[in-house]
Amino acid sequence: MRKLLVLALVGLAAQLIDGSLGMAYGLTSSTLLLVAGVAPAAASASVHLAEIGTTLAAGVAHWRFGNVDWRVVTRIALPGAIGAFAGATLLSSISTESAAPWMAGILFTLGAYLLVRFARPLRTDRVGGRLRGRFLSPLGLVAGFVDATGGGGWGPVATPALLVSGRLEPRKVIGSVDTAEFVVAGAASVGFLIGLGSEGFLLPTVAALLIGGLIAAPLAAWLVRIVPAQLLGAAVGGVIVLTNARTLIRSAELGGPVRPAIYALLAAGWLAALVLAVRALRRAPARATAVPASAASDAPTADVPAAPSVADTVPAELAGTGTPAAR
């Protein structure tokens, strides 16, 4: 009973992170299950089955808060489902001994990517035009495949790519990726069901993760407007890196002074990323307020339009200080 309660709390925390960052539900949950000794395929299968419910709740909540671009959803969901089904089928056919370091390696890489990405200032400028299908479809395919084989990865692959394009508001990037993940999780679950059978799903674990995720989904859709994603992303990335490094070190049979040295190096990198994330957060409002001030001083005195506020110029994902007024 205590274990199921812990898993429910993990599902709640993972969904809060996922709903706020547009990523990391699968990474967080799968990492914990691997540490607990669950087989990689069973861990990924259970997480994806739970995600069917959590992503449905998250999608509805994001839709109600106006965080979803349905054009983007329709163009990444189907390719993502195809990639997820293929990835689930592949992972189901790999032995546990071979799959464990493979899955831990993917999670470690994605965690390191989160550290690097959120340690730097996030992009605030937006360019005109719409995202094209020839960009969205391959992105969905790759993200879905990585998600199923790694036990997580849909958000870490899809969300940054859409953010870097600069063509969509950060809150709509997160909402659209979370909504499309419902289709991806369903396809992955079907693939695992075919490859592993019903016994491949740990139903008590699924139920615990699902309950925690359902409780957190509406709150996460609201938090995406105010949470400082810069700091949260760096913190989550460090946890994922350190926990999956444990599996990789064991697989490589590293011992003696090498193991603590690696952990110390990774911890130092995590601390550095957190410091850089805090600096980026502190500098962002100053940069944003400087633009309206200079624009107002250079503008003619007659018919001067009202200067945009900080909330209008800084995406909610970066600032973590509120929702843009026009939204």
Average pLDDT of each block of 10 consecutive residues along the chain (327 residues)? 74 72 73 76 85 83 86 92 92 75 80 82 59 86 87 78 74 85 92 86 84 74 66 76 81 81 90 88 60 41 41 39 37
Q: What is the pLDDT of residue 183?
A: 94
Q: What is the pLDDT of residue 324?
A: 37
What would you report as the CA-atom Rg of the chain, rounded to the nearest whole angstrom?
20
Q: What is the pLDDT of residue 80?
A: 94
Q: What is the pLDDT of residue 140?
A: 92
Tell me how far apart the terminal alpha carbons of the chain are, to the nearest angstrom: 43
DSSP code per residue over 35-55: HTT--HHHHHHHHHHHHHHHH
3-state secondary structure string across 234-296: HHHHHHHHHHHHHHHHHHCCCCCCHHHHHHHHHHHHHHHHHHHHHHHHHHHHHHHHHHHHHHH
Place of tokens 């546990």: 96
3-state secondary structure of 228: coil
129: alpha, beta or left? (left if phi > 0; alpha if psi -120 to 50):
left
Angstrom distance (rounded) from CA 285 to CA 158: 27
Angstrom distance (rounded) from CA 327 to CA 323: 7
Q: What is the pLDDT of residue 305?
A: 44
Please say whether the beta carbons of 10 and 32 come within 8 A: yes
User: What is the distance, to the nearest Å, from the Cα of residue 83 to the centroid of all Cα atoms in its chain?
Assistant: 17
Q: What is the pLDDT of residue 125?
A: 54
For residue 299, CA distances in Å to 288, 308, 309, 314 come to 18, 13, 16, 21
